[in-house]
């Protein structure tokens, strides 16, 4: 028996729709609850030999579904959500979970499924840790902004460098109400706890980058790309050979300029920002180093800065940097994605 089908994954259930290509029989239903154990049992019952090809939309939850399909010997296909929705066509009736699963099955049978790259486990793990690092940094930054807002609300002078000794001394001397003092002290304790997690995570990511060939190449070949930025860029881009050109990497990062012509109110030159925010952050941090005299992009950076202000000179360098990173990883080929063997702890 060979089955071809689609899974519509939700938190409570997985809706399936598949066809037996030998008999033409179509079956559909739900797998409840949506857990590894339940899915594993369903696969053992419906495709015990692993003779199956299943399409899954690349939304939250796809990872464990793809892993279980692969472990069962089946072929998993990851569908691009936006392009899949575009292939649905004009909406003539209410969309249901079964309709979504049937659409995936139909596109797979007709060989029209817009496939996405399935990263290996090591890339997924590094990507998850990199995104956790960025999330913790955003959270710590948010608590610093809350402290600044509280100081302004209570009429205190601005204090810069809240994480430095001088900044802490300034906060201790600030004239705050009882509740305001409690607010600031609580925020500082939260910041300190986040800093511990951030420092540990940064050390872990940098240790990985030192041993991964693709990360080492990015750090060695591109000015401004440190070990932390290297591992985040490497994990977010993944296998560069899946992109046809460097322009696609820029678009993947959400740094392409959008064209919106349905009304005349929007000013031109907006970034799409529809890609990976972590990739944009890491590339931007590296591109900011172009302001230094030792950078090969120093002249270009200041040429752009003479015409455009704000972050736009760094954004211009960021696009160039992403294109270079694409070519570096693509030229390495398989070596760029080589797995890192974890060191054994004695």
Sequence-distant (6+) residues with CB within 8 A of 225 are: 218, 219, 233, 286, 321, 325
Size (the chain), residues: 346
Q: Are 290 and 301 in contact (CB under 8 A)?
A: yes
- The per-residue pLDDT for 104 is 95
Alpha-carbon radius of gyration of the chain:
25
- The per-residue pLDDT for 49 is 82
- The per-residue pLDDT for 346 is 37
Question: Among candidates 317, 324, 275, which has minimal Cα distance to 82?
Answer: 275
Sequence-distant (6+) residues with CB within 8 A of 127 are: 119, 235, 236, 278
- Contacts by residues 301-310 (CB-CB < 8 Å, ≥ 24 positions apart): none
Torsion 320-322-327-332 (CA) sign: positive
The token pair that represents 302 in the structure block? 């200041």
C-alpha span between 181 and 250 (Å, rounded): 46
User: Quick check: pTM over 0.85?
Assistant: yes
* Helix or strand run (H / E) with residue 203: helix 178-211
What are the 10-residue block averages of pLDDT along the chain, 346 residues in total?
A: 90 94 91 95 89 93 95 94 84 79 94 94 95 97 96 94 92 94 96 97 96 96 96 96 93 77 54 83 95 93 88 91 96 92 53
Domain at 3-116, CATH class: alpha beta
- The per-residue pLDDT for 2 is 85
In the chain, what are the domain boundaries? Answer: 3-116, 122-205, 215-337
The token pair that represents 23 in the structure block? 């008999």
- The per-residue pLDDT for 274 is 76
- The per-residue pLDDT for 310 is 81
CA distances from 227 to 159, 201, 202 (A): 31, 13, 9
Q: Are 16 and 31 in contact (CB under 8 A)?
A: yes
């Amino acid at each position: 028996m060979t089955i071809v089908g689609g899974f519509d994954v939700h938190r409570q259930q997985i809706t399936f729709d598949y066809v037996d290509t030998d008999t033409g029989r179509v079956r559909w239903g739900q797998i409840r609850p949506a857990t590894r154990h339940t899915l594993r049992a369903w696969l053992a019952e419906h495709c015990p030999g692993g003779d199956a090809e299943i399409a899954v939309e690349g939304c939250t939850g796809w990872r464990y579904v793809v892993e279980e399909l692969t472990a069962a010997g089946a072929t998993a296909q990851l569908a691009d959500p936006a392009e899949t929705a575009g292939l649905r066509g004009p909406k003539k009736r209410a969309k249901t979970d079964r309709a979504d699963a049937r659409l995936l099955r139909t596109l797979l049978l007709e060989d029209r499924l817009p496939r996405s790259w399935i990263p290996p486990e090591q890339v997924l793990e590094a990507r998850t840790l990199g995104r956790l690092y960025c999330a913790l940094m955003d959270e710590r930054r948010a608590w610093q902004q809350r402290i600044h807002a509280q100081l302004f609300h209570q009429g205190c002078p601005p204090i810069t460098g809240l994480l430095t000794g001088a900044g802490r001394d300034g906060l201790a001397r600030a004239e705050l109400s009882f509740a305001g003092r409690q607010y600031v002290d609580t925020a500082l304790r939260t910041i300190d706890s986040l800093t511990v997690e951030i420092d540990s995570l940064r050390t872990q990511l940098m240790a990985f980058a030192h041993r991964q060939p693709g990360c080492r190449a990015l750090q060695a070949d591109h000015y401004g790309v440190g070990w932390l930025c290297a591992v985040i860029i490497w994990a977010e881009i993944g296998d560069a050979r899946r992109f046809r050109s460097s322009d696609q990497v820029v678009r993947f990062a959400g740094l392409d300029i959008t064209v919106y012509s349905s009304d005349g109110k929007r000013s031109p030159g907006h970034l799409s920002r529809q890609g990976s925010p972590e990739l944009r952050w890491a590339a931007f941090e590296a591109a900011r180093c172009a302001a230094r005299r030792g950078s090969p992009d120093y002249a270009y950076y200041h040429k752009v800065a003479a015409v455009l202000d704000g972050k736009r000179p760094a954004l211009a360098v960021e696009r160039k940097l992403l294109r270079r990173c694409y070519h570096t990883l693509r030229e390495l080929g398989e070596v760029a994605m080589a797995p890192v063997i974890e060191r054994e702890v004695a």
